[in-house]
Chains A and B, each alone.
Chain A
Amino acid sequence: MEEPSFSGLFTPGELITDDPMWMRGHGTYTGQDRKTYSSVAGKLQRVNKLLTVKQLNGRYDPLVGDHIVGRITEVGNRKWSVELGATQDASLQLGSVNLPGGVLRRKSDDDELNMREFLKEGDLLNAEVQMVYQDGGCALHTRSLRYGKLRNGMLCTVPPNLILRQVTQSHDLEGGVEAIIGANGYIWLRQSQGQKPEQQTTRKANGLNRLEQDSDAALIFKDTNDEISIQTRQTISRYYNCIQALADCEMMIFGSRLREIYEASLVYADAAELLKIEVKQDLCRQLK
């Protein structure tokens, strides 16, 4: 019996093991001869007796708990469809959204009719993956004040496999900019909000009055941008170019690296210089 090699890379159709004791997971299949073969190009992983081949490239594969950034594509019957770069659009149920009026508010028929007032086609939002279905679809929720509609900034998309999954995906960066790094490779860069979400939650824990809670929730669905200073705008675009540089050099992207590359990029006074390929490569070489 052939022992599978657990550090190995496999290509489609390659024999993983002929030992029937293993369970086959994603990226594998059993042939007519009951042997286990790989169905994608990737790295073999083992969890107890489960064998999976994890592909190293491709579209975003949602996992429960991922913090993602997505775009509303459709307002449907009691749910929104959200495009997030996965094989299928995710669904966001009306019931998984905090509506103005407090967490415990019951959803009324009016809410169902007014869904477009909360989120409409084309709106960007950040949310968390609540559940993953077997066919690759998933359900989202925004039941936390951290999540909701996005504004005051710009979107930067990179291949999802460049994102390092971390405990916190939103980072307050140098220069009054905040980055929300969606696990799906969509990164939202925006002007820092005065108060941190943590503070909000602590405040809430202290027992707030109903009115203040309302205004917090209303903020989630606010459509208009605040006034943003020209410096902040320039800083945002510098971060944008930094991220593009990382993506072009196929470097992983995470919070501390963003800070690092931003520092390094300050050598170039004009953020537009970061668009040059030599500059990009030079910056990426400087990183650890």
Chain B
Amino acid sequence: MSSSNIEQDFLRQVLAEGLRPDQRSFNDAREIEFNFGAEYGNVEVKLGKTRLVVQISASVKAPRSTAPFEGLFHITTDLSSMAHPKFENGTSNGVEKIMVSRMIEKSIIRSNALDLESLCIVAGKRCWMIRADVHYLNYDGGLVDASCAGVIAALLHFRLPDTSIDGENVIIHDISERPPVALSVLHIPISSTWVYISLSKDENDADNVGDDDMNDSDNDIDSNDKNLEYGIRKIAVLDPTALEQEISHGEIIITANKNREICQITKAGGKLLSSSAVYNYSEQAFDRALKITDKIQRELKKDFEQRNKGNLGTDLSKNALNERPVE
């Protein structure tokens, strides 16, 4: 626990009045910002005070024997005490760490967002290994949403050197020789997180927990006020801050793309939901996915325009390393 009881009580009271400390409504997310770095595949994401950097890198590896036509794709997350002192350095344990890495994996890898077959160079022998390193600089909730958007934006930004095959050898063309190619990203999964917060201070009082379902209306996301009237003391808030996350019990994370596809739902505990409520959440996740997808594409376009204008592209292509013979 890093926040005091009184802070938590205050937040509960504020929420009970239908407000959030940062003046958002319950279904508002914080503005997400993308800053692309000088290198391909480098992006810094800001979601409120949450800040992270994603770096994509590629190397040539032998493919897995079970999938000779597919490339490799790994995502590593590095949640250290830099983001918040509560994260322990050097271990991958802890609820949040596991959840974040699993959610990104489920949202992006398991939904086949990156076309692995396009990474194949020589079947069974050579393929690209793409890795995404996610580094968290500052923590204020919303890790899953921010890292998911960050990884996908970085993948879209990344350019892979072109390759050609000369007999047995694989030639990797330098960026100056041939223009690098974009990765084949099949769809853009964007995740949205809601957490459930019970508004009564002592959430363990049996009289309060009760069966939420008894007089819960079906359209319960749009009608948080109505729920309050019924005396239901659990609310859902989108894109929680660290403090909101801390006092929450249960969450629902939905990853959607702009093709109206749901890539992943994870909901354990929290409020009981009817099938139409889940549908409503999915609908909202889809709306948010549309918005963020749009934003990523706009920012990408802007970045590449700038690169071309300032001839940043050619600057990049002059790989000074090649001119530095190593001893």
Contact = CB atoms under 8 A, between A and B. Distances in A.
Asked if A and B form a direct contact in the complex, defined as CB atoms under 8 angstroms apart, the reply is: yes
Interface of A: 13, 29-33, 37
The B interface is mostly helix, strand or loop, or mixed, namely: helix
Contacts of A31: 210-211, 214
Contacts of A37: 211
Contacts of A30: 206-207, 210
B231 A29 contact: no
Interface in B115-152: none
B206 A32 contact: no
B206 A33 contact: no
Interface in B194-226: 206-207, 210-212, 214-215
Contacts, number: 22
Nearest to B208: A32
A30 B211 CA distance: 9
A33 B210 CA distance: 8
Q: Which among B211, B215, B231, B232 has the highest number of chain A CB atoms within 10 Å?
A: B211
A29 B205 CA distance: 10
A106 B214 CA distance: 59
Contacts of B231: 32
The residue among A13, A31, A32, A33 with the most chain B CB atoms within 10 A of its own CB is A32
In this complex, the member of A13, A33, A37 whose beta carbon has the largest number of chain B beta carbons within 10 angstroms is A33
Nearest to B210: A32
Nearest to B206: A29
Contacts of B210: 29-33
Contacts of B207: 29-30
Given A29-B210, A31-B214, A32-B210, 6 more contacts: A13-B211, A29-B206, A30-B207, A32-B215, A32-B231, A33-B210
Contacts of B232: 32
B205 to A, nearest CB: 10
22 contacts: A13-B211, A29-B206, A29-B207, A29-B210, A30-B206, A30-B207, A30-B210, A31-B210, A31-B211, A31-B214, A32-B210, A32-B211, A32-B212, A32-B214, A32-B215, A32-B231, A32-B232, A33-B210, A33-B211, A33-B214, A33-B215, A37-B211
A131 B107 CA distance: 54
A37 B211 CA distance: 10
A252 B244 CA distance: 52
A32 B209 CA distance: 8
**Which residue of B210, B214, B215, B232 has the most chain A CB atoms within 10 A of its CB atom?**
B210
Nearest to B216: A32
**Most chain B beta carbons < 10 A, residue from A13, A29, A31:** A31
Interface in B282-312: none
- Give me the 4 closest cross-chain CB pairs, A-B, nearest first: A32-B210, A31-B210, A33-B214, A29-B206
B206 to A, nearest CB: 5
A33 B231 CA distance: 11
A37 B210 CA distance: 10
Nearest to A33: B214
Interface string B221-261: 00000000001100000000000000000000000000000
Interface in B32-79: none
Nearest to B232: A32
Nearest to A28: B206
Nearest to B230: A32
Nearest to B233: A32
A32 B233 CA distance: 11
A29 B211 CA distance: 10
A34 to B, nearest CB: 9
B227 to A, nearest CB: 11
Name the residue among A13, A30, A37 with the largest chain B CB count within 10 angstroms. Answer: A30
A31 B213 CA distance: 10
Contacts of A33: 210-211, 214-215
Contacts of B215: 32-33
Contacts of A29: 206-207, 210
A13 B215 CA distance: 16
Contacts of B206: 29-30
Nearest to A29: B206
A15 to B, nearest CB: 10
A214 to B, nearest CB: 50
A45 to B, nearest CB: 19
B323 to A, nearest CB: 71
A274 to B, nearest CB: 46
A31 B210 CA distance: 4
A30 B208 CA distance: 9
Interface string B79-93: 000000000000000
A156 B249 CA distance: 43
Nearest to A39: B206
A31 to B, nearest CB: 4
Contacts of A13: 211
Identify which of B206, B212, B231 gathers the most chain A CB atoms within 10 Å of its CB. Answer: B206
A33 B215 CA distance: 8
A37 B231 CA distance: 19
A25 to B, nearest CB: 12
Nearest to A35: B214
B241 to A, nearest CB: 29
